[in-house]
Amino acid sequence: MTDNAPEVRSLTVKAATAEALADYGQVLGHNPDIAPMPIDFYGGAVKVRRVVDFVSDEQTEMPLVTVQRRSNEVRWMERHFKHTQTFIPLGGVPFVVVMSPPTEGDIPDLDKVEAFLFDGSAGFTMKLGTWHEFPFAVEDDTNLIVVLRQEATDGLIRDNVIQDEAQSPDLDKKDLLQRANLLFQFEL
């Protein structure tokens, strides 16, 4: 890290629509444009639609995460190589996710970082390799179900964190302040 004050970039928070999120993944919610699968049990009372493309090649878990409000500052961003992480809000509570498209490089494309406000009515499944910071709560005690590989969760345990970064075969969490002397912030 340099002795210079970090650059701070402000992000405009955008509505999390299917179109706005296309570079990052898919909205996990009702989509009437997707035809139901031809499953005929229950006299048509149950309609099954595959609305996202979820990928995981190993043990997958669904922890419940309770998020408190914190500073609207982004210092870390992470990505996953083996699964398409999914966030599902409980209770209709809004949250913000900061993302950048997948890259080949060691850090996200810092000119493509965006912030999105989810209204709490739908979740989101990210594409493989999408850079993101963990969701920001708009209200304290925001509950989210996170669908991800257990290997990614285990990669965040204190013993796997070295110099404020975490690495595992399915997790690449980088410290933007240390690597680029940069922080992102957003206002709601």
Q: Which residues pair with 186 in a beta bridge?
A: 11
C-alpha span between 46 and 44 (Å, rounded): 5
Tell me the CATH number at 159.
Answer: 2.60.120.480
Range of the domain at 101: 7-32+51-186
C-alpha span between 153 and 48 (Å, rounded): 29
Q: Does 39 fall in a domain?
A: no
Residue 74 class from Cβ within 10 Å (0-12 exposed, 13-18 middle, 19+ buried)? buried
Q: Does 88 fall in a domain?
A: yes
C-alpha span between 94 and 90 (Å, rounded): 10
Q: Does 136 fall in a domain?
A: yes
41 contact partners, CB below 8 Å, separation of at least 6: none
pLDDT of residue 48: 79
- How many structural domains compose the chain? 1
Letter for the amino acid at 48?
V
Prediction pTM value: 0.86
Render pLDDT for 58-77 as a digit per residue (tens, 0 to 9): 888 888 999 999 999 999 99
Q: In whole numbers, what is the pLDDT of the chain averaged over residues?
A: 90
According to DSSP, residue 181 is labeled S
Using pLDDT thresholds of 50, 70 and 90, give the confidence band for residue 159: low
In this predicted structure, the answer to whether residue 106 has a pLDDT above a threshold of 70 is yes
Q: Does 87 fall in a domain?
A: yes
Q: Does 43 fall in a domain?
A: no
Q: Which residues pair with 88 in a beta bridge?
A: 145
Run of H or E residues at 90: strand 86-90
Given strand 182-186, what is the order of strands in its sheet?
7-11, 182-186, 73-74
Q: Does 122 fall in a domain?
A: yes
